[in-house]
Structure 1
Amino acid sequence: MDKFNFVKDGAIKLPPGFRFQPTDEEIVFQYLIRKTFSCPLPASIIPEINICKHDPWDLPGDMEQDRYFFSNKEAKYRNGNRANRATLGGYWKPTGLDKQITCSKRKPILGMKKTLVFYKGKSQNASRTDWIMHEYRLVLPKNPPSNFKNPSQSSLVQIGNWVLCHIFLKKRNGKCDQEILEAGDENCYKASEHVQIAKPILYYDFMRGDLAASSCSSSLSNDDSSEVSSSPTTLVDQHEEATNRPL
C-alpha cells in the first residue's frame, strides 16, 4: 500500500504550498513503470480515470492547474492497435513527433511522450481548443542490443496497457510551451515570431564605479563570470556628467 494518499474525489488534494511538478523521467520511471508492474508508488497522488469518457473541462481537479491521470489505453477497433481518442464532445489529435525518454538504470525499457491537442466537435467541423495532453507510455524495442540507441516506431512494443496523461490548458499570453514548440505546433511557431525578448537593463553602480546588467526576469548566478562588454554611448556620457558634476 502506498505510504501517502493525496487523491480525494478523483482529484489531487495537496497541502497548501505544495505543487506536483514531476519531470518526464520521474513520470515514466518513478510512477508509470511502478503502476505498470504493480509496484508501490512513491505516493498515491495520481488518480485513475478513463480519459475517453470525459471532455478535458469535465475531468476532476482544478482546470487552472496541471492535472495528471493514469488511464488504460483503449483500442478504437476490437481487432486493431489504434487507440481510441474520441470523447463525448470531441477528440484528441496527435501533433508532432513522439519524444523518447530514457534512463540508464532502466535499460532497455524506454518511455515515449506523445503530444495531443483537443478538438471540439465532429471530425469535419471540429474546432481546435487550447487543451493540451502529454501522453506517456512504456515501450520495449523488439531487438534491444542492436536497436536501443535509435529505435524506430515500428520496432517498439508497448509494455502493459497503462498510460499516464498530463492535461493542461495552454495560457493565452503570447508565449508557447517549449515542449509544444518542439512537438511541431505550427500555430505556436507563428505566435512566437511576434514575441520580443526583453533586453537587459543597464544601470550605473556608484559604489563600484562601473556599469552592470540587470534583468527583471533573470539574474546572474554566482558561477557566471560573464561581463557586460559594451554599453550605449549615451548612457556612458550621462553617467560621466553625473559623476563630474560638483556637489
Structure 2
Amino acid sequence: MSIGLGSVLLWEVYTDEASNRKGAGIGIVLITPEKLIMEKSLRLGFVATNNEAEYEALLAGAQMVRHLGGEIVELYYDSRLVVGQVNGEFEARDERMKKYLDRVKRVLGTFKSFKVRQILRGQNAHADSLAILATSLGSKLQRTVMVEDLMTSSFTGIPAVGVHSIHVGPSWMDPIVTFLQHGMLPEDKVEAEKVQRSAPHYWLSRERKLYKRSYSGPYLLYVHPEAVEPLLEELHEGICGSHTGEDC
C-alpha cells in the first residue's frame, strides 16, 4: 500500500531483524529530511517468531518517525513476505500476522503519505548490523550506540526501556579517520607517509564510518577489529541461520 509523495520533507527508514540463540533484535536506520542519520538497536525482551520480529521492526521504524514529527515516510525492508502483505500483494493467513498487519496499516495511516519498499538484503546491511548488535551487547563498535529493551509486544502495552553504552579502544583505523576528518598526520614520518598513501583508498562518512572505496561495486564498511569475531559468530550462527540464501 502506498500514497504518492508530494513534499520534499521525506523521512527514510531502513529496518531489519536478527535472531539467534541469545534472543532477537531490531535495527533501525532513520534518515531525516535534512539527511541526518539516526541509528537505533532494539532488543526484544519477549519470545517472537521471525515474522513477528519483522513486523516489530517495521512498526518500530514507523513509530520512531511519528514521534519525531515526520509526516511523509518511505520504509525499506528486505522481507518480501512482510512488504508484500503490507502492500496487499500477499495475504496474511495466520491470526497473529493479521493483527500485526492491521496494526502496521493503522500506524502508517497516520502519515500524510507513505511507501513501503522491498530492498535486497545486501542493501540493508546497516540496519542488519544494528539488529545483530542488539543480540550481542559484548560487541564493540567505533562509537557509542543506544540499545533499548523492548519488553512487551505491540499488543500488550508500552515497552520498558533500558539504555546501554558500548565503547572501544584505539585501532589501526584511527590515524586514517583523523587525517580524513581533520587533515592531521602522525608525528612519525614513516607512519605519516603510510597514512597519506592509504587515505585516497578510503572514504569517511559524516557519522565517522570508514569505508573502502570501490569503483565497480558498493563501498565496503570497515568494522572495528574488536567487533570482528563476535560479528562473524552472529553471521554464521545467528541471522544467516534463519535467512538462508544467496545473501548469506
Asked which structure has the greater RCO (Cα within 8 Å, sep 6+), the reply is 2
Rg larger in structure: 1
Query: TM-score surpassing 0.5?
Result: no
Under a length normalisation based on structure 2, what TM-score does the superposition of the two structures give? Answer: 0.20
Where is the strand percentage greater, Structure 1 or Structure 2? 1
